[in-house]
Structure 1
């Protein structure tokens, strides 16, 4: 299945969409709600403000404007010949005025390419315009995938920061318990020291998480064309995953073949190379110049002439070389199309498998690992208070809870990353 050639044709921005974009920008400048609560708000802002995407759209519009000139006739030329300006054999003085010389010939010449060449040039320009529009669509898909991935990281880091703060507060409670038991002579001082060391380690990790959280905010602002230190809203939720029934590989492969911008661009390169090869073969035939010439004698036009001129394609060796070049370029375009298709299908299969794995990890962590870790910690805490479990076992149980919750966040981020990559490959949201 080939991509739809009209799917990526650039269109002028609708007035309402433009006004909405201007309204959103002015609302932000006026202190409106911050973007970042969900990924949709970031995507909307990036579509209106990202300079790379804007540049790709402008280039697509520029390429579309080249189509009509490519198939148009060249401009005609006007030639004027002043004959016998010395008025040889008469008593009249030399002159440059048409009415005071022997005669004046005006020639209007129109170049006319051989039949079919203009259509082929227009077809090549149209294919190049489709390539530019496909590149613009590819630019948006890559930008959207980057924003979706960064937002997932932003969400996970915000969740990790919150979780670490909660666990740090809880670690303080464990320290109080160990101090009370140490004061009663039930545990050694080492328990109190280990509780303090655990808190120090968590504070250090919290600093690193805050730093990474800041970096993700800066990267998102860069994609949104906002100041690097501009604040973002706290992320509220991740996008829901599509149900497994919509992740059938066969259906996804068909959607990729139909909508992927990279495959569309590769297909249009083949079309352009095919038309260029046909144009190279058509150059075996001559081009023409058609002319009409009125001849002025005195103040009157007494004669008319018609002219036809053609070039003689004698340089056959040069033309055969150009034809072989065009054939090689077509073969290269076809090979690149096949390579692009194989690479994209492999990436789709890889990301689909990774998404399913991340989904299974999330399910196992949420339904098994986390409940087991919480039960283990409750048991260890009760045992420590009764003197049946040492402090090391209690700390290990606490670390298991933290690991389970962080694994859950990381699995969700991995799911969102894989989903973003699949949507980039498909050229549309799932």
Structure 2
């Protein structure tokens, strides 16, 4: 009878170890290895803003637009004229044969109607401003993408940690089922089912490891560094109270969001285009001066001569100019409608993100203080009850799976809160300094 006694002692030891493993499954717990090579979100964002090719191209793009705007308001180059006037064909190089033969040097300058140059420069500056602000909008998207990738790596790492703990629990459950089967208290099917559950966990680990690698590649692409660079572990971010309301955030977006600024600049460009189109109904002027040098001939003294000219274009194609004015007015109406649509989208987006963040915050608190501790207690009770034959093995596995899913949901809610916060920051164009500290920095 010693062998059954030893087997029961082994079963008791495994039950105790299994309970200890369950007690160690704390939602906020991190292994010692996780403290090594922790990534800092602020440093990653700074690296992206310093190294991302789109960011580098933005400054060059702004200089290009500034130089283009300078060209728009400048005068056309003057025209120099050199000619021989009234030359004699029978003796083309003899300038003293006829008194009317002249060597002419002239210069002319095209001068737009008053105000056109200023309007053209304003039009180009508005266009440059709108284009550059759209570049700044793209920079906000880069920062948001870095933060999203950061928290996606975080939740994947936590899922892998939970998976590793559950695999250790499954090993203990397999041994426990084997021991009960040995003493005739359990079914062999329990062993097979436990091994199948472990195989499912192994399959899930393969998928999570691949997801982690894909997220690393995305992060490295945003930071413009080699795609095989390893991304370190992510510390657990705190959820701090969010003080700003929807109305305050909408006002912040009106003042800070590059998209809205770009659309307002586009409206200003359309108005400048209308003003320029109205000036097109007036003629431009060309001033010219000619100096005519003559040689004495045919009894004449050959006095030099000059000529002054004032030339106007005739703006008779009024249909084209009316169409130009209508085009600019339609562009203004279109830009104003797009601005209102963007404002409505931002208002709705801010309200929706605040609602989702509040839901996730409450879920995190509920998982941390209620659901997960209760699920852990339920699993501990199921292990003890299975040991004495009060519950079947399927119920024990269900309890383990329930705790596993709740722990993953906890970290998913925690990461999703931070992702929504990053999206909110991008939507309003950056939060004020009164906001909570940057998650993950601990400041």
Short-chain TM bin: 0.7 to 0.9
Q: Given the superposition, is the C-alpha separation of residues 98 and 69 from structure 1 closer, same or farther in structure 2, using an over 3 Å criterion? A: farther
Q: Which residue is equivalent to 1:410?
A: 412
1:218 is aligned to: 217
Residue 208 of structure 1 is matched in structure 2 by 207
2:271 pairs with one of 270, 274, 280: 274
Q: Show the 5 A alignment for 1:236-251.
A: 236-238=235-237, 240-241=238-239, 243-246=241-244, 248-251=245-248
Give runs of aligned pairs for residues 332-411 of structure 1, distance below 5 A: 332-411=334-413
Equivalent position SS for 2:243: helix
The number of aligned residues is 391
1:29-428 alignment, distance < 5 Å: 37-86=39-88, 93-95=91-93, 102-238=101-237, 240-241=238-239, 243-246=241-244, 248-298=245-295, 302-428=304-430
Is residue 79–residue 109 contact of structure 2 (8 Å, CA) maintained in 1?
yes
Cα distance between partner residues in 2 of 1:111 and 1:377 = 89
Farther-moved stretch of structure 1 (312-321 vs 127-136) = 312-321
TM-score, normalized by length of structure 1?
0.85
- SS of the equivalent of 2:326 reads helix
The structural deviation recorded for 1:99 is 13
Alpha-carbon distance between aligned partners in 1 of 2:52 and 2:303, rounded to the nearest angstrom: 63
Structure 2: tracts of 5 or more residues without a match: 1-35, 297-301, 436-443
Q: By how many angstroms is 1:389 displaced? A: 2.5
Question: What residue number does 2:33 align with?
Answer: none
Q: Could you tell me how far apart the structure 2 residues matched to 1:340 and 1:96 are?
A: 75
TM-fit CA distance, 1:417:
1.7
Quickly say closer, same or farther: Cα 1:66–1:166, change in 2 above 3 A. Answer: same
CA contact (8 A) 2:129 2:262 kept: yes
Query: In the TM superposition, what is the alpha-carbon distance from 1:331 to its structure 2 partner?
Result: 1.2
Deviation larger for 227-236 or 346-355: 227-236
Q: TM-score, normalised by structure 2?
A: 0.83
Preserved contact between residue 56 and residue 135 of structure 1 (Cα < 8 Å): no
User: How far, CA to CA, are the matches of 1:223 and 1:398 in structure 2?
Assistant: 38
Contact 1:127/1:271 (<8 A) preserved: yes
1:15 maps to: none
Checking the alignment, whether the CA contact within 8 Å between 1:114 and 1:286 is kept in structure 2 is: yes
Q: 1:293-330, CA deviations, whole angstroms, 9 ceiling, x for partnerless residues? A: 22223499833332211111112222222222221121
391-400 or 283-292, which deviates more: 391-400
Mark the CA change 1:35 to 1:73 in structure 2 (over 3 Å): closer, same or farther: farther
In 1, distance between residues paired with 2:412 and 2:77? 64
Alpha-carbon offset, residue 351 of structure 1: 1.3
Structure 1 distance, partners of 2:316, 2:126, is 31
Aligned 8 A contact 2:155 2:411 in 1: yes
For residues 49 and 222 of structure 1, the distance between their equivalents in structure 2, rounded to whole angstroms, comes to 10
The answer on whether the counterparts of 1:107 and 1:294 sit within 8 Å (CA) in structure 2 is yes
- Determine which structure has more spread, i.e. the larger CA radius of gyration: 2
CA distance in 2, matches of 1:58, 1:283: 33
Q: Conserved in 1, the CA contact under 8 Å of 2:95 and 2:102? A: no
Q: Structure 1: how far apart are the matches of 2:249 and 2:96?
A: 75
**C-alpha deviations, 1:84-142, integer Å up to 9, x for none?**
33388xxxx53288999932222111111111111111111111111122011111011
**RMSD, aligned CA:** 2.4
**For residue 17 of structure 1, what is the aligned residue in structure 2?**
none
Q: In 2, are the aligned partners of 1:79 and 1:108 still within 8 Å (CA)?
A: yes
CA contact (8 A) 2:95 2:294 kept: no
Alpha-carbon distance change, 81 to 343 in structure 1, aligned in 2, over 3 angstroms? same
CA drift of 1:70 comes to 0.9
Conservation of the 8 A alpha-carbon contact between 1:74 and 1:110: yes
CA shift for structure 1 position 385: 2.1
Deviates most, 303-312 or 260-269: 303-312
Contact 1:104 1:295 survives alignment (8 Å): yes
